[in-house]
Amino acid sequence: MTAHPSVRGDVAVLVPAAGMGVRLGPGAPKALRLLRGEPLLMHAVRRVAAAPSVGCIVVAAPADAVDDVAAMLRPLSSPAVRLLVVAGGASRQASVAAALAAVPEEFGIVLVHDAARALTPPELVETVADAVRGGHGAVIPVLAVVDTIKQVDNSGVVVGTVDRSVLRAVQTPQGFRRDVLTSAHAAAVDEHTDDAGMAEKLGIPVHTVPGSEAAMKITRPFDLAVAELLF
Ligand code: CTP
Ligand code: MG
């Protein structure tokens, strides 16, 4: 595929940030927990806003924190990057759908990026955006799986060993032509843990690009400790 130069501002990024962070333990909603003194969401949005392709960021915040989150993120908005905050929903999927509904008409490329992947480098945002701009309707960043993976039965006994070479761990940002993401969400009947899963259901080919270790999802206390060290 030929290289496609980044076009300033043709990409909207949805940032689902309305989760409670149950696996991180008791405390504020995960996106508002601190990493080196700053909420995870600030770290995530700052890095997304630094990607030259990005012209709009729509954050889905916890419903009772929309105004506070908008005030918190205001310093990160600029003439080049418009920042919108909407109320998220009861599931990640509902939060993404709410953010998608708020994307201004002019954006034809839409990325979805977890607030919990707070240290994702702007370069990964560009790589995904470039692949969509280059003609792929759905794009995901992936990493090879390093652990041996086994299938087990209900009692925990091993059924078999899965061929690791064909497996990938999937990250965000996931990128889509806007019409692809819209139809994927419109067609979804059950809950999906990522947006590409909905596109797959529609039979849309999902292209992969190399992910980044720094785009790790902060899920458990151990991940937060790792992120503090990585910072
Ligand atoms: N998310 C969201 N709305 C929800 C649930 C999740 O916007 N109702 C967001 C989270 O804020 C996070 C991303 O989706 O940025 C990935 O979800 P996950 O890592 O599972 O975060 P939480 O749901 O907050 O964590 P947990 O599942 O441990 O409660
Ligand atoms: Mg969750």
pLDDT, mean of each 10-residue run, the chain (231 residues): 63 98 97 97 98 98 98 96 97 97 97 98 98 98 96 98 96 98 93 94 97 98 96 87
Q: 14, 20, 33: which to mutate for ligand 1, most atoms within 8 A of CB?
A: 20
Q: Is the CB of 92 under 6 A from ligand 1?
A: yes
Q: Quickly list DSSP for the chain.
A: -------TT-EEEEEE-----GGG-SSS-GGGSEETTEEHHHHHHHHHHTSTTEEEEEEEE-GGGHHHHHHHHGGG--SSSEEEEEE--SSHHHHHHHHHTTS-TT--EEEE--TT-TT--HHHHHHHHHHHHTT-SEEEEEEE--S--EEE-TTS-EEEE--GGG-EEE-S-EEEEHHHHHHHHHH--S--SSHHHHHHHTT---EEEE--GGG----SHHHHHHHHHH-
- pLDDT at position 208: 98
- pLDDT at position 7: 60
Instruction: Output the CA 170–ligand 1 centroid distance in Å.
Output: 15
- pLDDT at position 231: 87
Taking the CA of residue 17 as reference, the ligand 1 atom at the shortest distance is: 11
Q: 58, 114, 170, 218: which to mutate for ligand 1, most atoms within 8 A of CB?
A: 114
